[in-house]
Amino acid sequence: MTTTARATVQHDDEHVRVTRWDFAPGESTGRHVHAHDYVVVPLTDGRTDVHTPDGAVTRSHLSAGESYTRPAGAEHEVVNAGDALLSFVEIERK
């Protein structure tokens, strides 16, 4: 059974929510749908497996400080597929 990564909300107001995610190897966000556009800022290098509802799995390599964006509506589960702690900050624009 996959355990859930630790989510720490750092800021939440009417405009933006900032959440830090920390994952041990094998930990997961759990399946979720993004209600808002968002930016991810990796704090560590690492690998993720992104599982989508259709059963597809996409492996991604994250590099510390190399941010990326995604639109609202994304539905997935993110798993730390590496062998070290993985951390990133997620910034949702409300």
| CB atoms near residue 82 (< 10 Å) | 19
CA-to-CA dists, residue 82 to 26, 45, 54, 70, 72, angstroms = 8, 9, 23, 22, 26
Q: Which of the four pLDDT bands, split at 50, 70 and 90, describes residue 3? A: confident
For residue 7, pLDDT over 80 is answered with yes
pLDDT in tens, 39-93: 999 999 999 999 999 999 999 999 999 999 999 999 999 999 999 999 999 999 9
User: In CATH, which superfamily holds the domain spanning 6-93?
Assistant: Jelly Rolls (2.60.120.10)
Whole-model pTM: value is 0.92
